[in-house]
Amino acid sequence: MPHDADRLGRQHPPRPRAARWAATAALALAAALVAGCGNPRPAAPAAVSAGSPPVVLDGAALHLPLDRYLLGPHESAAVAQAYRALLDQCTRRFGLPDPQLRTADANLPATLNERRYGITDAALAATAGYRVAKPRPVSNSPTPAGSTAPPDPRTLDILTGRHPGAVDGRPIPDGGCSGEAKRRLNAGAPGGTDLDLAQRLSQTSYFASGRDRRVQDVQRAWSACMRTHGLRYASPLAAAADPRFRTGPVSTTETAVAATDIACKKKTNLVGVWFSVESELQRPGLAANRKTLEKIRQTNQIQLKVARGLGIG
């Protein structure tokens, strides 16, 4: 899936796992109610002091200190798909309709930081502008209508376990099928871990870095560079959010603005400065939470192993 922010080149920190699981359970419930990896990248620069930022443009090659504890875009999609597959295995035991599992969206950034500071891939921008990929032609094929059969009143009980008991003599798992799917996805993972911590720290550092004087200064330099080409945007994220570049075919205007955007990033070293400032801001939180973050890393690896066991990823 990409979120609009990802598609447009804006950073959109990933939602906490609990929210993603809740969302996938809701999708499964809705379906039940209505139904009858690229070229090698150059080595990433080290996360150095913001006092001596590296000269860098390729966002996809960047590795922030907290990245070790985060799933990449395609890894997150694989884990979410694995959860839905495990949920489906459980609900089918109770005769519920399949939750119409979706394949992972191919139009995702290749890495966590490919678009963290805006677009940087000049070759892609030349054809796709601010999009993650060039839009495909819109199909005019009609969408099949869903079933109008009344929902089974036991569906929510089976999915959530809100009323413990049995259905047709089959015991509902603790926490329903959602609880069972989570347990299977995390079998062997360290317990009592705040799995959303790494994502919260990453989100906090991103927004804090945007408020840092050094980042604001380089954004003003980037904006001044854009003005020399007749383009008025306060920041790269404002350019990515231009309503003209959100939907429909990629225009020559969009690709021209995107090319200028990247050229001005290169001229001002915006990516290098922002990356260095955010690296600096991430280190204290990492040091203070290293034990918990290591448990999150272990859990990530376990979830990915489960996904691979299901033929996903």
Helix (H) or strand (E) holding 166: strand 166-167
Lowest mean per-residue pLDDT among 145-154, 213-222, 232-241? 145-154
Residue 20 has pLDDT above 80, yes or no: no
Please check the confidence at residue 289 and state whether its pLDDT lies above 60.
Answer: yes
Tell me what pLDDT residue 118 has.
Answer: 96
- 215 token code pair: 């980042």
Concatenate the DSSP letters of all residues of 173-214 into one string. Answer: PTTHHHHHHHHHHTTTPPSS--TTHHHHHHHHHHHHHHHSHH
Please state at what angle helix 290-309 crosses helix 176-185, rounded to 10 degrees: 100
Q: What are the residue ranges of helices labelled H in the chain?
A: 4-8, 17-34, 73-93, 122-128, 155-160, 176-185, 197-211, 213-227, 236-240, 252-268, 270-288, 290-309
Taking the CA atoms of residue 260, residue 264, residue 267 and residue 271 in that order, the dihedral angle to the nearest 10 degrees is -120
| Distance (Å, whole) CA 102 – CA 87 | 13
Characterize the bridge pairing of strands 170-171 and 166-167: antiparallel
- Ranking 14-18, 215-219, 246-250 by mean pLDDT, the lowest is 14-18
More confident residue, 173 or 27: 173
Single pTM value for the model? 0.78
Q: What is the pLDDT of residue 136?
A: 75
Looking at residue 142, its pLDDT comes to 53
Distance between CA 268 and CA 276 in Å, rounded?
Answer: 14
Residue 246 or residue 283, greater confidence: 283
Which residue type does 149 have?
A
Is 244 in contact with 254 (CB distance < 8 Å)?
Answer: yes
93-97, 236-240, 262-266, 283-287, range with the lowest pLDDT: 93-97
| Helix (H) / strand (E) containing 274 | helix 270-288
Confidence band for 138, pLDDT divided at 50, 70 and 90? low
Q: pLDDT by residue (tens digit) across 60-106? A: 999 999 999 999 999 999 999 999 999 999 999 998 876 555 555 56
CA distances from 227 to 230, 233, 235 (A): 5, 8, 11
Q: Are 125 and 253 in contact (CB under 8 A)?
A: no
Q: Tokens for 309, please give them.
A: 């066991």
Q: Which residues contact 112 (CB under 8 A, 6 or more apart)?
A: 64, 67, 70, 72, 73
pLDDT > 60? residue 121: yes
Structure tokens at 139: 């199909």
Residue 37 has pLDDT above 50, yes or no: no
Provide the pLDDT for residue 281.
98
**pLDDT at residue 226 above 70?**
yes
